[in-house]
Amino acid sequence: MASRLLRGSLRLWGGRCAPCPPHSARCFHSGGEERLETPAAKKLTDIGIRRIFSSEHDIFRESARKFFQEEVVPYHAEWEKAGEVSRELWEKAGKQGLLGINIAEHHGGLGGDLYSTALVWEEQAYSNCTGPGFSLHSDIVMPYIANYGSEEQIKHFIPQMTAGKCIGAIAMTEPGAGSDLQGIRTTAKKDGSDWILNGSKVFITNGWLSDVVIVVAVTNREARSPAHGISLFLVENGMKGFIKGRKLHKMGLKAQDTAELFFEDVRLPASALLGEENKGFYYLMQELPQERLLIAEIAISASEFMFEETREYVKQRKAFGKTVAHIQTVQHKLAELKTHICVTRAFVDSCLQLHAAKRLDSATASMAKYWASELQNSVAYDCVQLHGGWGYMWEYPIARAYVDARVQPIYGGTNEIMKELIARDIVRDK
């Protein structure tokens, strides 16, 4: 039966067979399979480990890993200089079945399970290539449209986004409003059946390449609280008054296009409203746990990559007549790092299981995001130190991983906000 399902999950890509992501109904998690957990694996990034995955996931992971190694890694340095990846890459990812994985087939997605989309997050982290904004596109932007969009909006956007022909972004952050979403100043005012959008957004991932942007705007300033007067709008590239500013020059994530966006009297039809009027804040609160889980998953996967990169380096680098790996202080540091990483991996995998069962709450997602992103930065610091002077050289992967890590405790809600959300859950009367 498994082989029949697997044959059914194959499709052609560029003349070759590329496995589709497993559907949740097709997966056989640890059913008779004895899978090593991360601590016992030969490498933390091995294929075929962790009981949350199945053998079908392993086949899909092999395909995703090959894609990142062949289609992303060789070109990433060039994209870092350009400040964006190529649009051609997006269409290749669509053909390979790496976009819209966890979106239902009847909406135009691939209908894969959460674990399939998570392993793509992991494989991108293992490639140490942060340029492609696939996860934000597929697992932050697309769910808003699939969950709250009209039938017309879903048909118009989702199939094209799954194919990589329409690139999505979400515009929340403003020059004067970051983690405090209730402080936004962008407005949308009714004009007959249309809306007139005015304002600006900043730090927008995929902003420069975007074909559609979900814009968070105030639609009722008289609401009893700012949260009750926010709506979401679908703004398409080329609309009059929608202006893309400069690509921002960042410390890290250099190949990921991040832009300023400006809206000057953009006239939006009534059909551009996503979901119901003044329900935007509620939608954001519903979707933010997945965004925070995504950040946590990328953070722990990046930590696993950095550990393996450093383990390999210290086993080859010689000092005082022996390899650095034979120095006891280095061995103890590696022991600390592996322990911290494996403990965090167990927690994040537990969060993935909770989310797959639709039981991941906001406080737990906040814990995962806060803890894993802090760990990522701690691991990055120690791994650069273990590389010595070479760790400070840009051509070494650990240097790029170090600067890419720094934003993780900031976006998706700062870690200070994560602690606030966790604390509220602790002290409130339930």
DSSP, residue by residue, 241-289: TEEEEEEP--SS-TTS-EEEEEEEEEEE-GGGEESSTT-HHHHHHHHHH
CA 369 to chain centre: 12
The pLDDT of residue 33: 63
* pLDDT on residue 327: 92
Is residue 395 flagged as an active site residue?
no
Distance between start and end Cα atoms, the chain:
46
pLDDT at 341: 98
Residue type, 225: S
Q: What is the pLDDT of residues 100-141, one digit of tens each?
A: 999 999 999 999 999 999 999 999 999 999 999 999 999 999
Report the SS3 class of residue 21: coil
Bridge partner residues of 19 (DSSP): 10
pLDDT at 24: 53
Q: DSSP alpha helices (H): ranges in 261-394?
A: 280-316, 328-356, 362-387
Which parts of the chain sit beneath pLDDT 70?
Answer: 1-20, 23-33, 178-179
Residue from 80, 174, 291, 297 carrying the catalytic annotation? 291
Q: Which of 75, 77, 121, 74 is nearest to 99 (CA)?
A: 121
Is 272 in contact with 233 (CB distance < 8 Å)? yes
pLDDT, position 7: 33
Cβ(404)–Cβ(130) below 8 Å: yes
**pLDDT reported for residue 293:** 98
Residue in the structure block whose two tokens are 């998953």? 297
pLDDT in tens, 17-64: 466 677 654 444 544 468 999 999 999 999 999 999 999 999 999 999
Crossing angle of helices 280-316 and 362-387, rounded to 10°: 30
The DSSP H or E segment spanning 90 is: helix 87-96
pLDDT number for residue 34: 85
CB 391 within 8 A of CB 384: yes
Strands (E), 117-270: 168-171, 187-191, 194-205, 212-218, 230-236, 242-247, 258-268
Q: Is the separation of the CB atoms in 154 and 108 below 8 Å?
A: yes
The first and second tokens of residue 124, run together, are: 């991108």
pLDDT of residue 365: 97
